[in-house]
Amino acid sequence: MARTLTVSSQRPGACPTIRDALEIASDGAIVSIEAGVYTEAVQLTGKTVSLVAAGEPGSVTIDASSAGGSAVACSGGAVTLRGLVLKTSDYPAVSARGGQLTMDKCEASARYAAGVSVTDGTTLNATDVKIVGGQHGFVIEDAEGLLDKCEVRDVSDDGIIVRLGASPTIRNSTVAGCGYRGCYVYQSGRPSIERCDISGTGDAGISVAQGSAPSIIDSWIHDTHGVGILFARGSGGLVEGTRVEDTAAPGIQVDEGADPTIREPEEGSRKPRVGSQAVEGAIQQDTEQVEKLLAELDSMIGLAGVKAEVRALIDEIQVNEWRRSAGLTVGTASHHLIFTGAPGTGKTTVARIYGQLLKALSVLPKGQFREVSRRDLVGQYIGHTSEKTTSVFEEARGGVLFIDEAYTLSRSAGASADFGQEAIDTLVKLMEDHRDEVAVIVAGYTAEMVDFLNANSGLASRFAKTLEFENYSPDELVLIVNRIARNDDYLLEAGLNDALLEWFGQIERDPNFGNAREARKLLEGMRKAQSGRLRAMGRMPSRDDLRTLVLADLLVATG
């Protein structure tokens, strides 16, 4: 686990400066910086380290204006900056030579230099980075990486410079109010400029020279004092689906000796959303937490089909977000599910994990889990049921509403279930009105759930998928017994697993068979049998005696 070091000028025991923390930071350390202004120049050589604001983005400022250097200068290694404001005067606010530089939700400004400058093979990944004022925004030379949802505004010279064969992808970004060019590509630069909004420049929106060949895709260049796009002699590249409006004439200037491919937007074609605010509804996904939760799901015994179905649902959510980020249409998706199968097959556990996954994917804001049954939803008189059901639904908003034995709500459960029908009808309307605010999961026996779905004509269509939880095999039940025993600090003597396998192989599997519940019930019986056996020993049992369950305990527990 990565070591976390705290920087604070107020908290006792914390490092008073960032430099102090870095002196003792091991590779992979996280330096958590509490709110405040830190007047120092941070230099990193060959380090893998993260500098993150402990509070909200923008609560921490590293100001090197009087320190004679960049706010953060790194050489080699892998450096992550998150939530920081970075300021300096005559040097780039952030500079990197080689290695990897990741910036997320940062602001950078330098009075007489670039906000961010990377060179010498650096891989730059910048997301939601803002540069306002100064001489240049980003300077990227002999480097690669991704600028996503970034902004450069009101710089005195060029907004973004790409040179020396650099090949970054600049996507969903805004460049506005530059004193000279919005984006200057030269010395064999090969950037991909996708869905960007470039405007208000003192000269060309994009200028291409000296053997460079950018791809300018689905972007909007407008309201520039110079031409929209200029290709100088010896340059090339691709312009596709890009609107050039309200610029100096011609909108796209191709000098003699230049050879770009230009594909005008088709008449009547959809105008792609552009700029840093273009990705409407974009969400921040906690991919690390998603992987942890999927690993927890995978660690469950059995349920191969269920695990595959949940992974498919998560894959679809993630791909839809990638489509949204790419400016593509994303349809609405239901997150309501049906879980069918016998008791004790892990339905509740999977429902909890599913809710936490939806939270990690930012589909649901809270991910809390509310488990209810018929008695929580159905009232005792007309109108009471609708009130109870609505109240429970409101409590679950932002998370998962898990309705166990949902089939007991349907009229087929008996004449007394008429108020249950009212609960179903209320649920159908609430699920439609708040489809993006809650995930409703209904669970029960396979056959009975068919009757439940037939109780309202619109009910089945509200659910995205049915997941069938199969009974555990005898081998899986033995594994479950071993896992429960291990978690409770018990051991099974050699050969006991074979006896357990024989027992689970011959036990009757009627509709009320409890699966994992049977395994836990059996283990509890074995523990009681062990207690009686140890009490009868006539001596103090050893530590091994206290931990070990034996065949005699199983025989007593099974009668």
Higher pLDDT, 236 or 292: 236
Mean of the pLDDT values across residues 123-144? Answer: 96
CA nearest 195: which of 167, 221, 177, 213?
Answer: 221
Strands (E), 318-464: 337-341, 369-372, 400-403, 439-444
| Overall domain count for the chain | 4
236 and 310 share one domain: no
Last residue of a domain, one of 255, 279, 303: 279
Residues 355 and 430 reside in one and the same domain = yes
Regarding whether 307 and 267 lie in a shared domain, the answer is no
Tens-digit pLDDT profile for residues 220-250:
999 999 999 999 999 999 999 999 999 999 9
Q: Which H helix or E strand runs over 260?
A: strand 259-263
Per-residue pLDDT for 368 more than 90? no
- CATH number reported for the structural domain that contains residue 84 in this entry: 2.160.20.10
Residues 435, 307 within the same domain: yes
Domain end: 222, 249, 279, which one? 279
| Domain boundary, last residue among 279, 297, 330 | 279
Question: Does an H or E element contain 299, and which?
Answer: helix 287-299
457 and 489 both lie in a single domain: no
300-349 pLDDT tens trace = 988 888 899 889 888 888 888 777 766 666 666 778 888 888 888 888 88
For the record, the structure tokens of 368 come out as 């809390």
Predicted confidence at residue 366, as pLDDT, reads: 80
Say how many Å lie between the first and final Cα of the chain, rounded. 48
- Region 100-115: mean pLDDT is 96
Closest CA to 230 of 264, 212, 218: 212
Same domain, 412 and 465: yes
* pLDDT of the residue at 269: 57
pLDDT score, position 120: 97
266 and 331: one domain? no
Asked if residue 280 has pLDDT above 60, the reply is no
3-state SS, 361-383, equals: CCCCCCCCEEEECHHHHCCCCCC
Extract the tokens encoding 433: 């009105």
Burial of 453-467, coded b for 16+ CB within 10 Å and e otherwise, reads bebbeebeebbeeeb
Q: Are residues 311 and 436 in the same domain?
A: yes
Residues 228 and 199 in one domain: yes
In a shared domain, residues 145 and 220: yes
Least confident of 212-216, 355-359, 505-509, 534-538: 505-509
Are 430 and 479 in a shared domain?
Answer: no
Q: What is the mean pLDDT of the chain?
A: 88
More confident residue, 225 or 503: 225
Domain residues for the domain of 377 are 287-469
Contacts of 255 (CB under 8 A, 6+ apart): 230, 231, 232, 233
Query: How far apart, in whole angstroms, are the C-alpha atoms of residue 58 and residue 60?
Result: 6
Q: What CATH number has the domain bearing residue 512?
A: 1.10.8.60
Q: Are residues 71 and 90 both part of a single domain?
A: yes
Mean pLDDT within 361-387? 81
